[in-house]
Amino acid sequence: MSSIFEKSINLGLGLFSYSREKVEEIVDELVNKGEVARKDAKDLVNDLVKKGEEEKEELKKIIKDEVTESLDYMNVAKKEDLISEKDIRKIIREELINILNEQNIATKDDIINLKKELNGENK
């Protein structure tokens, strides 16, 4: 038969996986066995549920930190490190313009500007 201490430790360690109803059920069992006073049962349930939520959040944080650290260690690219399709198009466009300029090939903008000059629109 488990002592109240052992049950409390087990509740504390695995509480985030218990629902409030399950915690109430366990505390009721402790009350029936005389290990917890009935007047303290509600506070105990609230405290255990609160502690479980805190442990759940702490576990989430630990997991997130560990995953982040592991991904950083493996040098996996993050979302902000990736180049968007829009950025790729911009880079390609700039490179094509540079190549056309090096080859002295007119771009669409060059032709439009030349037409404007010939029509007297750029004065």
Read off the pTM. Answer: 0.47
Region label for 32, one of left (φ > 0), alpha (ψ between -120 and 50) or beta (otherwise) = alpha
Cα(94)–Cα(111) distance, integer angstroms: 17
Over residues 16-61, the pLDDT tens digits come to 556 778 888 888 888 898 888 888 888 888 888 888 888 878 888 8
| 2-to-25, 33, 35, 81, 104 alpha-carbon distances in Å | 16, 11, 11, 53, 88
Over residues 75-99, the pLDDT tens digits come to 998 888 889 999 999 999 999 888 8
pLDDT of residue 42: 86
